[in-house]
Each structure stands twice: as C-alpha cells, then as structure tokens.
Amino acid sequence: MDKDLKVLMNKYGRKAVAALQNVVSSDRTNASGDTLRSIQYKISGGSIIVEFDPTINILDEGLNPQNVSERGAEGIVRWMKAKGLRPRFAKGTVTERDYKASAFLIARAIKAKGTIKRFGYRGSNILSVFDDNSTFMNDLSKDIDLYLDSRIEKMFNEMKNK
C-alpha cells in the first residue's frame, strides 16, 4: 500500500470514529462512556474496519422484544447506576435487591414495547452516519476520486517519460 493511500485511510478511520462518537454523544444514548471508548478503527489490507461494543448495534436497531430476557438484568443494573437512576420504590438506603427488582421491571417493559421511548421504541439509527448518501461517505468518495486521479496521472507521466 502506498504512503498516500495509508494517510487517506488513517484520516478516514479517525473521522469514522469521531463521527460515530459524536452521534452517540449527541443523541444522549451514552451512559457510562464504555460505548464511546469502545469505538476504534484499524486498517486491514485495503479496508478500514470500525470496531465497537455490541451495544452500538442495540442502540442503532433497538432490541427485538422477543429476544429480551427478564432474568438478564445485570446490564440494566449497570446502566441504572451509570445514569444515576435510583429505584423508585426504594425507601432509605438502596440495596442491590432494589436495583435488581427495578431492572427486572425495566426488562419486562422492554420485552413488551421495545427500547428507547423517544425513538418510538426502536433504535436511534446511529449507524446511518455510514450510509451511502451520508456526509462521511460523500467526503470519502470525493477524496478517493482525488487520490485515484493523482495516481493515474502519476502513472501516465511515468509511462510518458520512459
């Protein structure tokens, strides 16, 4: 891989991470910061691979209510604590049992309706930042076209000078 292409790929790897982090932050779906910190990129061959916590997929698409277990409340308890949410029915000192009971009820509501109310109990569609007509993809396409034009011109000049 030539140096200019590597520079271009690193530029868009960083831009992809920043764009996704910006969307997660701006739509207020970030609780503990773990999801934001999980967003990274790597270059493999001729590809830019954006890696992130599976939570991004849940935020993007929402949860299919049939796949939600009312017993799997550990993640909900972590989320409640990260958001500073206190169980409503807890009086005085909040115990771990209070958190688990609230998490069970939240899981049951998710199973019945779906995830985030302000997104119509669907996902927030945060991965649309990488859709074909997004600003990110349009900018990437333009820069790739410029790179290819310069490579073709360089190859043509090399052939012409021989």
The mean per-residue pLDDT over the stretch 27-39 comes to: 79
Tell me, what's the pLDDT at 143?
94
Amino acid at residue number 122: R
Tell me, what's the pLDDT at 72?
61
Q: Which residues pair with 47 in a beta bridge?
A: 44
Query: Which H/E stretch holds residue 44?
Result: strand 40-44
Tell me, what's the pLDDT at 45?
85
Q: What CA–CA distances, in Å, run from 135 to 16, 93, 140, 153?
A: 11, 49, 8, 27
Give the integer Cα–Cα distance in Å for 162 and 154.
Answer: 13
Give SS3 for 49. Answer: strand
Q: Round the average pLDDT of the chain to a whole number and report it.
A: 82
pTM of the model: 0.67
